Amino acid sequence: MSRIGKSPLMIPKGVTVDINGVHVKIKGPKGTLERDIRPEVELVESDGILLVKCRDNSKRTDAFSGLTRSLVNNMIQGVDKGFEKKLIIEGVGYKAEVSGSILTLNVGYSNPVKFNLPDKVKADADKSGIKLESIDKELLGLTAARIRAVRKPEPYKGKGIRYENEHIVRKVGKAAGKAL
């Protein structure tokens, strides 16, 4: 069995897991998440511990057991604590504003870019960046990637939208290259 799939999941207090065949529903203080899991694996709950069991011994099922454990773990962490992702906006005059579920980005285009946020994602924008929060880690990462794609960081001046811990490899400009 997969190394990740073997390890048990501890269910924190205040979180309930409802397993109905291949459908898993997890409720917690922050909200509710639902997902259908692969039929090759099953979830077994006992005494606040959740285990992933394989129905056969194929390599494919081993891979699904690790994937299922990671997905269910993300769901449990999401409804218990939630997830957040920070994006940094760099550039003269670049800024972001949030009004309701619409994120307005002024990032060097002739018109501002209006980005509709999904229902489960909340955003806060300040002078230098955007903070996204959600209970669904998958949706949060997808939303952050789509916002970053509006103006990817460029390698010469570093202008654009980047993740908080992302390192941009900077290139030498034309004038600096000829000085050799």
Whether residue 132 is contained in a domain is answered as: yes
pLDDT, residue 5, reads: 85
Q: Predicted confidence band at 177 (pLDDT cuts at 50, 70, 90)?
A: low
Q: Which amino acid is at 158?
A: G
73 and 93 assigned to the same domain: no
Q: Domain residues for 26?
A: 3-80
**Residue 134 CA to chain centroid, in angstroms?**
8
Residue 52 bridge partners (DSSP): 43
115 and 55 both lie in a single domain: no
Percentage with pLDDT > 90 across the chain: 79
Same domain, 72 and 108: no
CATH code, 21: 3.90.930.12
Selection from 75, 120, 57, 129 nearest residue 97 by Cα: 129
Residue 1 has pLDDT above 70, yes or no: no
Q: Which two tokens stand for residue 23?
A: 């459908």
Q: Pick from 170, 81, 164: which is nearest to 126 by CA? A: 164
pTM attached to this predicted model: 0.88
Instruction: State the total domains in the chain.
Output: 2
**Average pLDDT over every residue of 13-35:** 94
Tell me if 173 is assigned to some domain: no
